[in-house]
Amino acid sequence: MSNAITQTNFNLPGLTKTYIGKVRDVYHIKDELLVMVTTDRISAFDVVLPRGIPYKGQVLNQIASRFLDETADIVPNWKMATPDPMVTIGRLCEPFKVEMVIRGYLSGHAWREYKEGKRSICGVAMPEGMRENDPFPQPIITPTTKAEIGHDEDISREEILQSGLVSEPDYVKLEEYSRQLFQRGTEIARKMGLILVDTKYEFGKDGEDIFLIDEIHTPDSSRYFYLDGYQSRQDAGTAQKQLSKEFVREWLIANNFQGKEGQTVPAMTDLFVNQVSERYIELYESITGSKFERADLSAVLSRVENNIIKFITAYYR
């Protein structure tokens, strides 16, 4: 467990800028390439938890890489190569300042809002009489702001357009792409015996062209239920069996932490860290149908840095 990557400080050729996100360390090369290292950090309620999760970065990066390839016919994406199990390298885009959240079911944040009596989220109406984890009549888009520090905030389509965060022509495309990607993700998940409950997409521009960026359909950006037994669990009013980061949020809530001021992150035991790691691996195998190959962690930082440098050197040769 000590070899989980929780921070990097790589000296890469052509480095012009570094950005440290909640989970990813991002390196800009010659203001042209973007190197995204998916670390083993884990966040919940917009707080980075104190311990890394072994293999989490590899799981996220490899799932995202796979689904970027499987959706490239819908929208072009930023990916050029994955030179290491924890790294994707691609074109540097200017990100839109909103995240496109799309929900097929009343779960997670939407359910917490609904339970408090709200019947609208991000300006989108939610029907009366729904229960937790019921499907919406059709998927709803509930965007959030993209905060560099602190919490992302719900925002409506009207507020996005009024504030000029995204132009109307671009926003129409973002909604269209989000619905198409969610439909494709839903179809892929169903073939693997899963339900894609909700997810988020991020987009950017290179010149006048829109690209899908960051991750796609990973357990950090998405929620999955098991298809088998879903309806019987709904009928019985019991909790859905799910593969997502929600169980980490539930563990934190049970231990009196929701990221609010004055709250303290509970201690993460070795047992809990290992359980989280196994859940991520389980999702990888469930959603891809492939056996997860655990990468060598004996000198993981050196391995990652060397693989990045090899790619950059060859690219600019």
So what's the pLDDT on residue 279?
87
Q: How far apart are CA 287 and CA 80, in angstroms?
A: 23
Q: What percent of the chain shows pLDDT beyond 70?
A: 98
Which architecture, in CATH terms, is 95-244? 2-Layer Sandwich (3.30)
* pLDDT for the residue 243: 79
pTM of this prediction exceeds 0.85:
yes
Please give the class, per CATH, of domain 15-92+267-315: alpha beta
Q: Is the pLDDT of residue 148 over 80?
A: no
pLDDT band at 146 (very low <50, low <70, confident <90, very high): confident
Q: Is it the case that residue 52 has pLDDT exceeding 50?
A: yes
Q: 253-309 pLDDT, tens per residue?
A: 999 999 999 999 999 999 999 999 998 898 899 999 999 999 998 899 999 999 999
Looking at the predicted structure, is the pLDDT value of residue 149 above 60? no
From 63-77, 103-117, 137-151, the region with the lowest mean pLDDT: 137-151
Segment 189-239, tens digit of pLDDT: 999 999 999 999 999 999 999 999 999 999 889 999 999 999 999 999 999
Tens digits of per-residue pLDDT, 12-27?
Answer: 999 999 999 889 999 9
* Half-sphere exposure in the Cβ direction for 110 (13 Å, CA): 33
Domain boundaries, the chain: 15-92+267-315, 95-244
User: Average per-residue pLDDT in the chain?
Assistant: 94
Q: Is the pLDDT of residue 241 over 80?
A: yes
Distance between CA 157 and CA 145 in Å, rounded?
11
Q: What percent of the chain has pLDDT over 90?
A: 88
Q: Between the CA of residue 62 and those of 83, 254, 280, what are the distances in Å? A: 11, 31, 12
Q: Which residues of 251-279 are buried (b: 16+ CB within 10 A; e: fewer)?
A: bbeeeebeeeeeeebeebeeeebeebbeb
Which of 185, 115, 186, 105 has the alpha carbon at shortest distance from 142?
A: 105
Look at residue 1 in the predicted model and tell me its pLDDT: 45
Per-residue confidence (pLDDT) for residue 242, from 0 to 100: 83
pLDDT digits (tens, 9 = 90+) for 24-42: 999 999 999 999 999 999 9
pLDDT-based confidence at residue 2 (cuts at 50, 70, 90): low
